[in-house]
Amino acid sequence: MIPEMKLRIVIIDDHTLFREGLQSLLSRHGIEVVASVGDGREGIRLSQELNPDIVLLDMRMPGMTGLEVLKQFQQLKFRPPVVMLTTSGDERDLVEALRNGAKGYLLKDMEPDNVVAALREIIKGETVVAPNLTQILAKVVKGEDPLEPEPSPLDTLTPREREILSLLAEGQSNKVIARNLGISDGTVKLHVKAILRKLSIHSRVEAAVIAVEQGLRANKTYPDT
């Protein structure tokens, strides 16, 4: 039986106690930690000097964030496999890390044996993420954008309808809206009907709720009333 290759790891994490605990854990599994630092720039320098098999990198760090460190690695000739080891299960963090070259995205609450197993898969060329984040990884691999914003219900409205909806959300009557916008009451009524139809709702109150939920704000260039 061929023995497993002994991995050489650099840890970049600003939490000293976590670094020490992780180093002890990895050592018990036959993984050598060749450097353990809390500063991103120092971690980059040592990684270039020591040529580790994997860099374990925290996402949230003061000064130079994990994402900034990751981007710096991508600009170097020497690009060790970088694995994010973080408390952040945020979808955006995961996608940005993968987009910028991370070979893994692991969470600090994972079982130790699972972290070690993931590192051994990554060194073989696999991309590994924490089990509860695999669906996001699948979308990224397929070329989909998990961060693409959901279409807004307001997208179907014309600029004038959005303007009138924002004023409805302020509780203004048709007459006040007409005066503020310099149009007739009848024109406002037609726009309100169109808004309700396009949003598939039946009342001004529902329209106002949607406007607030979507963060629609009135552009107050009209005189105060």
Torsion-angle region of residue 116: left (phi > 0), alpha (psi -120 to 50) or beta? alpha
Output the pLDDT for position 77: 77
Rounded-to-integer distance, Cα 55 and Cα 83, Å: 6
pLDDT at 222: 46
The CA-atom distances, in angstroms, between 23 and each of 5, 10, 30, 215 are: 18, 10, 11, 47
Sign of CA dihedral 10, 120, 22, 101: positive
Among 3, 7, 5, residue whose Cα is nearest residue 31? 7
Per-residue pLDDT tens, the chain, 225 aa: give them: 334 568 999 999 999 999 999 999 999 999 999 999 999 999 999 999 999 999 999 998 988 999 999 999 988 877 789 999 999 888 888 888 988 899 999 999 999 999 999 999 999 999 888 887 877 666 666 666 655 556 778 888 999 999 999 998 888 999 999 999 999 999 999 999 999 999 999 888 888 888 888 888 766 544 443
* Domain residue ranges of the chain, discontinuous segments joined by +: 8-141, 153-213
How far apart (Å, rounded) are the C-alpha atoms in residues 48 and 73? 9
How is residue 18 written in tokens? 């976590």
- Assigned CATH class of 153-213: mainly alpha
Domain 8-141 has CATH 3.30.2310.20: no
For 140-150, letters b (16+ CB in 10 Å) and e give: beeeeeeeeee
Tell me the whole-structure pTM to 2 decimals: 0.62
* pLDDT at residue 92 in the model: 83
